[in-house]
Amino acid sequence: MSIKPLRLERGHGIGIIAPAGPVDHSELQPSINLLDSLGYRIIQAPHLYQRQGYLAGSDDSRLEDLHSMFQNEDVKAIFCARGGYGTLRLLDKINYDLISRNPKVIVGYSDITALLLAIYKKTKLVTFHGPVVREVKENENQNLRLFLDLFSAPNSLRLDLKKGEALIPGKARGILLGGNLSLISHLIGTPFMPALRETILFIEERGEALYRIDRMLTHLRLSGLLNGIRGLIMGRFIDCGDISDINDLIMDIVSGLNMPIVSGLPVGHEVQNITVPLGLQATLDTEKMMISVDDSYFR
């Protein structure tokens, strides 16, 4: 059974960490100002602006920031500053018992996929695939508004797929999991990859050639992880070539698994990047072109 975080409310503290790539103060300040203007108290991690090559500081400093935010009682939600690369390096060092004892909202995407899925695997905490701090002002603040609507609306979520396409029609119900395809592929064979049986899986990607997407999907299929999944949803595939070629590839590799497959989930590396809770029961219905999450995602 999933562990659920407390609902985020105005006046609560939001902690900001950089568990992957480095960021500058100027990149985050506009978003910090926006969150502050909406009534949230911003708590920046001590090592937030450190830089060590392509990483936001050493593994130890990034790990310390992650742990400190889960320990800090004033922090009710943890936002990741950006993606990039680096979260994989932390997974075997994280104190998952600490997270289990202090369940909180944690949100991000791209490289943060590894962190979200590992936390879910080790603790069953519901995590949130959604915008990173330096991008919350994109899409005219709509990504942030939709994220915050999760906390003010009733505990139900309807994700519209009407701009997408049903590659294989049908209806499926299962645990909703997913994220960046590259990171999912890199988690295979580690103790941090959740089982995908009886799940609805969504994937997104950026800047990968078609043959590399083929390699990752084939790796997923050969690993056996796709056996028993209930449905597959494609998010954005930005700078990955013609989407029709990607659709054909998906059909070639996974269409024999007897499940609905649909494109059009507005998540990933584009201006529109809505928030999706990971680890809850959801229903995919291609007749309505909708994903519905009816389970409560907060305590």
Q: Write out pLDDT tens, residues 5-62.
A: 998 999 999 999 999 999 999 999 999 999 999 999 999 999 999 999 999 999 999 9
pLDDT at 285 over 70: yes
Whole-model pTM? 0.96
Contacts of 55 (CB under 8 A, 6+ apart): 20, 21, 22, 62, 85, 86, 89
The token duo for 237 is 């595939």
**What does the alpha-carbon distance between residue 254 and residue 296 come to, in Å, rounded to a whole number?**
31
The token duo for 247 is 């659709």
Out of 2, 31, 110, 182, the active site residue is 110
Q: pLDDT confidence of 154, banded at 50, 70, 90?
A: low
Dihedral angle over CA of 293, 254, 198, 147, nearest 10: -30
Q: Where are the domains of the chain?
A: 13-152, 157-293
Out of 204, 205, 208, 263, the active site residue is 204
Active site residue 110: yes
Out of 47, 129, 186, 269, the active site residue is 269
User: What CATH number was assigned to the domain covering residues 157-293?
Assistant: 3.50.30.60
CATH of 13-152, one of 3.90.1170.50, 3.90.1170.40, 3.40.50.10740, 3.40.50.970: 3.40.50.10740
Task: Give 238-264 pLDDT, tens digit per residue.
Answer: 999 999 999 999 999 988 898 999 998
In total, the chain counts a number of residues equal to: 299
Active site residue 263: no
| Residue 40 CA neighbour count, 13 Å, CB half | 22
Tell me whether domains 13-152 and 157-293 share a fold.
no
- DSSP code for 200: E
